[in-house]
Amino acid sequence: MKVDLEKTLVVAVSATALFDMSEADDVFQEAFKENPETAVENYRAYMLKREEDDLADGTAMPLVSALLGLNQYKKQGEVPIVEVVVMSRNSPETGVVVFNNIRSRGLNISRHAFTGGESVVPYLEAYDVDLFLTTNVRDAQKVIDAKSCASAIVQKPPHTSNIEEGQVRLAFDGDAVLFDDSSEIVFKAQGLKGFFDHEDAHQDVPMPEGPYAQLLRSISQLQSRLPFNVKSSPVRIAIVTARSAPAEMRVIKTLRTWGVYVDEVFFLGGLDKSKILKAFRPHIFFEDQDLHLEEAAKYVPSGKVPYKSESEIHKYL
């Protein structure tokens, strides 16, 4: 029977984003340095001995657990509200430890893609993926360039974390994440005054969509399936942006044009984003700039959104 996931939020997550598999990766990299021809076999032997090991949580685990919890609100006979797909470059054989840990945690994940060393990116469309979380920089870049779905490179798990239970909390940067990078390019090229003048003059012109615009719409659709009004929804969305007046009105008017509801917006005017994020306690924060990511990732799960390879912004970085 064919399953229609049009009304389901589909999140694909790499095994290395869901679980902390850094030790296994180090083993493979070391084996490859010593002898590329025997590296795969040595890695296979290592993984087979550790099939019953308990893996530590990866950066994406709190988000995945919280999203799957939303399925408790699914009406009988309906498709899931959220579907999670685990994707890995491991072979099915070396991925047994991942399957075992998914089961031991009671995660309701039934779809997987284990590609035996090949990139998982070509299979995202087949799984109807809306968001792809990975630790592989090249894979995330391919997805952003192809505009196939939202994607982020998850950072290392935070040192400390105090995530809200019973909710799903998502925090987004604005420019180059929800919106395209055209305004950020204006800032890089013309400075702060030029940016303010441009945004104030264009406040009635909706900003072009960025790589996460469609995901925001999908989350809005998800909220419509929950038995709550928007203000009491277990899904809470925040925009945390370095913008400030007079560049704030264009953000608000663009969201109105898109027809999406955002619970909280923080216009920081250059203040440290990590302090706001510690207070908001998101399950994940999506950001394009390393300057903000490095500090934020110490306190909250975070993902880097790559710029498109052909973006003009690269000449300013």
Give the residue numbers marked as catalytic.
173
Sign of CA dihedral 173, 178, 180, 182: negative
- Nearest to 316, CA basis, from 189, 143, 169: 189
Distance CA 102, CA 65 (A): 11
- Both tokens of residue 260? 């999406």
Three-class SS of 104-134: HCCCCCCEEEECCCCCCHHHCHHHCCCEEEE
Burial class (CB in 10 A: 0-12, 13-18, 19+), 110: exposed
